[in-house]
Amino acid sequence: MHNRIHTDRGQNLLFNSRLRHLLLLPVMLMAVPLRSQTVAALPAFHASEKAAVQTFSFVSDGPRGPGWTRPDEIARVYFAETLPVFFERTLELDHAVPGSSRIEWIFTGPHAGFTIILSATQVQIQERYYDSAGLSSDGNYPSRIVEDEKRAYSGAARSLSVVVDAHLAIHVLLNGERVLSAHCDFDVMRHQLKLDAPRTVHEVVEGRLLREDAHPATLTIDAGKKHQAMLGFGGSPSIPAYESLSAEGKRQYWDLLKRYNLLIDREYPMGTELKRDLSNMDNLADATPHYYGDNFPNGEVSGFDYSRKTLDLGGSVIYEMWALPRWATVAWQPAPGSPPVIDAWKKPVTQAADPEIYASIVVSYCKLLKEHTGSGPQIVGIENEVEQSPAVFAKMTTVLRRELDRAGFASTKIHMADAPYITMAIDRVNALKMDPTAWADTDFTAAHQYDFQHYLSDPDQYDTGLHTLHEAAAGKPFLATEICLNDKHAQEPSYRLAFQVGQLYHKDLTLLDAEALLYCWLLLDVEQPTFGGSRALLVPDRTNGNVPVASSFQLRVLGAWSRHIARGMMRVDVDSSDPDLLATAFTQGAHATLIVMNRSTGERTLHIAGSGAVEWKQMERTSMYLANASEPAKSDQIVTIAPGEIITLSTDAAR
């Protein structure tokens, strides 16, 4: 839960120093400007058969444009639409751009924008941010160009297309051929067109914006092919952040957790500061601080009252220690001739857990939780992001199972030690299987997935590791225990990035048979917004009475799944005719839920087949513009889904 990202692949990523987001792009060659040719030779132009949405006509020496601050500028054309998060748009020109003119296709969003500049011989992409007074000034408002890519071309450019896709890229096509690309992870919502030309010559630029048509697709549900039953959704609360909420804020917080079905409380308990008598396990003053930039610390500490409220709402508790107090560890070194054990930060391991003391701490917590709430934890994890030798992890598992059973917690399950990356989780599973008793005592595999950040530009590249972990798990269910974006390059509060995390939810459910999806922090107390927007679903709003508010788009994206997948629902097969439509379906008796993601750049008209007697009652739309917005489902089961939209169909009434 702190700043880390695996960098073993770093040398393979650093091939283009001009890109801002290098660490996110292991397959970024597809989005790097095409510099292999000095000049792009354009193919012949062929007019499209698509209809025009809007026409435009510029005359360089015509009447000056009306408006304040630009008295001699040619009037701009404003396109009457709000853009989906992914899109393809095409302008067709009646004639090529005249030699002394250029058109600027300007795309704007809440934080940043980009402009495509087309002249008679060159095309250019400029990306700029304009959301802070700390940026350099362009005229009388803040603005800073962060990307500026150019490509010369030969021939007559009559068609100009812009593709903003789910690979976090902008592509520019002239006459249908891609000539320039750039990375982009911010959102844009509107676009306009400007002609920059001398006012002393007569030059005309006319054309049209083409309509993009919807394409049909079919989803076929096979309720007979069943997979995992869901435990639910949730994450880790920062108890200090929770305590910072006002009384009204706490009331709203629990309403939000119930509304979004985020009812798994993954404890982030007292660790290094835990006293031998365990008397400070829930003492807020002793919370081990977490330092996120210059934010106020969000510490490690349990909250029994918090857990009781979770259980009262029908939720559950997962308890997993991170760093242990020194009195629960012993000095450790590898056996002679054995290689050292190296942790995720490439440091050799010199301390090991004392399995007996460790187990006594966990069992004592279980007793205290039951004393305060009436229930013990549903699951306990072995250890969070701390490297131990395989023999120590195995011993921690077998001793913990023994002590839980002795103390009357036979129903409490155990998940394996959490690793920060899938690659490390695979190694831990394979090592644990070398001890048959420890493997038998392990009920769940588990991992954090911070290495997913290497694949934000092409999430399908991450599938190989997920398949490998699933195969290694040999039928044991998986818990996605800590999901978020924490790399500094991925802290743009955009829907585009939240959607990519949504692809990870889909993959965990369908490739790993995940029974729980847990975000890193449910609530985090921050001053610097990028920390909250990337690491937490909610943050306190001190400007409105210390009430919780969504930190970014992450809450609504996770909610597309969590709100209508109840505990005990079982995943069933869904076949999609379109690889860019990702679908998951769940059933439980008469209840059913279907979630569909459209990661294409075009609208899709869905036909839902194979659902038998299922009668969808509600449909929720989640997008850049809608936060889990509910509407009655159509009886004909024909659904239109926009690019970048997530649709949730449910047999239950709106929540």
Report the distance separating Cα 452 and Cα 512, nearest Å.
Answer: 14
Q: 330-334 contacts: CB < 8 A, separation 24 or more?
A: 330/354, 332/389, 332/392, 334/389
Summarize pLDDT for 389-426 with one digit per residue, the tens. 999 999 999 999 999 999 999 999 999 999 999 999 99
pLDDT category at 638 given cuts 50, 70, 90 is confident
Between 29-33, 45-49, 79-83, 457-461, the lowest mean confidence (pLDDT) is in 29-33
Task: Report the percent of the chain where pLDDT is more than 70.
Answer: 92
Q: Which domains does the chain have, with CATH numbers?
A: 33-211 (2.60.120.200), 214-227+567-655 (2.60.40.1180), 231-564 (3.20.20.80)
622: left (phi over 0), alpha (psi -120 to 50) or beta: beta
Please identify which residue in the block is written with the tokens 């394409």.
Answer: 215
- Average pLDDT, whole number, for the chain? 91
Summarize pLDDT for 564-580 with one digit per residue, the tens. 999 999 999 999 999 99
Dmax over Cα atoms in the chain, in whole Å? 92
State whether residue 613 is helix, strand or coil: coil
User: Is pLDDT at 68 greater than 70 in this prediction?
Assistant: no
Report the distance separating Cα 556 and Cα 501, nearest Å.
Answer: 12
pLDDT category at 613 given cuts 50, 70, 90 is low
DSSP state of 453: G
Helices (H) and strands (E) in the chain, counts: 12, 36
Report the distance separating Cα 564 and Cα 548, nearest Å.
Answer: 22
- Mean pLDDT value across residues 273-302: 89
User: Is pLDDT at 265 greater than 70 in this prediction?
Assistant: yes
Residue type, 182: A
Phi then psi for 142, rounded to 5 degrees? -70, 140
Please state, as a whole number, how many other Cβ atoms lie within 10 Å of the Cβ of residue 39. 13
The strand ranges marked E within 371-444 are 379-381, 413-415
Q: What is the pLDDT of residue 438?
A: 98
Q: What is the pLDDT of residue 291?
A: 78
Q: What is the pLDDT of residue 631?
A: 92
State whether residue 365 is helix, strand or coil: helix
- Of 434, 437, 436, 439, give the one whose Cα is nearest residue 417: 439
Q: Please, is 431 exposed, middle or buried when counting C-beta atoms within 10 Å of its C-beta (0-12, 13-18, 19+)? A: middle
Q: What is the pLDDT of residue 20?
A: 33
- Mean pLDDT value across residues 58-86: 85
- Mean pLDDT value across residues 482-494: 93
Q: What is the pLDDT of residue 612?
A: 65
Report the distance separating Cα 163 and Cα 158, nearest Å.
Answer: 17
Q: What is the pLDDT of residue 359?
A: 98
Please state, as a whole number, how many other Cβ atoms lie within 10 Å of the Cβ of residue 294. 9
- Mean pLDDT value across residues 478-506: 96
pLDDT category at 339 given cuts 50, 70, 90 is confident
